[in-house]
Structure 1
Amino acid sequence: MLYFGGKSEVPLIHIRNAREGEAELLSEIGIRAWQKAMASIGEGDAMVDAARSAFFNFVAGSWITVTVIEWNGHAAGWAARETLDEKISDFWIDPHFTGHGLGSALLQNIENDIAAQGFDTALMQTHSGNSEAIGFFQKRGYAIHWLSIAYNPKLDRDVPSVGLSKSLESVGDGTYGLV
């Protein structure tokens, strides 16, 4: 809860499409979230410049595939479906805004979009050492289906990854849940 002038106010969460020209704002959110995730893995410092460039270039070139979540009018995170299919290619919540349900709300929105386009499964992948993200997705019905090590040209190095998926099914009230 936020308090203004002694009154309790309900925080306003708004989910919208990204706008052209937001690449710098959204890439900075992405880099902050990425740095937090990489801190436990220990590889972030060596890759921060490449990551910053990759975030900016992705958002600048693919902003139409990005969904933004705002908290009281401030961009607090974003997700992308780079090829507009069932795969969530990016999912970033600014560390300053975690713990308020924003990730859950954004994920539900993305899953609804995936299901509305006729896909019955949501897919995503993350660094195999990103236990916070893996736990987040598992708590929301995702299961790990594969582990791999592949070269990432954006970061210019091999990256160990896990693939997660969740079956989506309409539950009759316009929402989607675990099958």
Structure 2
Amino acid sequence: MPLIRHARQDEVDALTAIGLRAWEGAVNGLVDIASMRRLAENAFADFLTKNWLSVSLIEVDGRPRGWAARENFDEIISDLWIDPDVQAQGLGGRLLADIELRISNDGFETAKAKTHAQNAGAIGFFRKHGYGVSWLSTAYAPKLDRDVEFIGLSKQFVVADPVLYGR
């Protein structure tokens, strides 16, 4: 049975490996993975070393299989990575539901995420779970030395009652 819990500092290496494997699948065909792999690995390790307190993970049989983060403890899901070996088994949906509950319990009415616009898997995943596209932007990515299109997604938790005039 999957278990969702807070990450521990001693799990940084395992979570880095999961993030790296999932990243490789997400950018396959978009970047030269071989030349970017070390940079991506260092970025994951650095992020997780500095922000492990903001990370929730999902484990199966005592083994971490994915993780999500709210880097600034706000409404933005900064990361959500599921090991490719267990993708499409519902673990991402469970982890997303948990982080959405945390966002809602912290008083936010909307959850937000972003990804590169060619990441059809992530976009489809978030749309399947009730997210809509809220913006599209192009920004220069220095590490890639090119412009990259990003897409913002959001999901509103609280639906305001419509203002009714008359009966």
TM-score > 0.5, shorter chain as reference: yes
Residue from 86, 90, 101 that aligns with 1:112: 101
Unaligned runs of 5+ in 2: 160-167
Counterpart of 1:84, as a letter, is: F
Which secondary structure state, in structure 1, belongs to the residue aligned with residue 81 of structure 2?
strand
User: Which residues of 2 match residues 111-150 of structure 1 at below 5 A?
Assistant: 111-150=100-139
Unaligned runs of 5+ in 1: 1-11, 171-179
Matched, 1:86 2:64: no
Matched, 1:160 2:149: yes
- Structure 2 distance, partners of 1:110, 1:44, is 29
Which secondary structure state, in structure 2, belongs to the residue aligned with residue 162 of structure 1?
strand
Contact 1:40 1:130 in 2 (8 A): no
- Structure 2 distance, partners of 1:93, 1:137, is 13
Q: State the TM-score, normalized to the length of structure 1.
A: 0.83
Aligned CA RMSD, in angstroms, stands at 1.6
Give the deviation of 1:84 after TM superposition.
0.3
Count residues in correspondence.
158
Give the deviation of 1:146 after TM superposition.
1.1
Q: Which has the higher strand share?
A: 1
Percent of aligned pairs sharing the same letter: 46
Q: Which moved more, 1:59-68 or 1:38-47?
A: 38-47
Contact 1:18 1:66 in 2 (8 A): yes
Superposed CA deviations along residues 40-94 of structure 1, whole A, max 9, x for unmatched, are 4344333211111000000011000000000121100000000000000000000
Matched, 1:16 2:5: yes
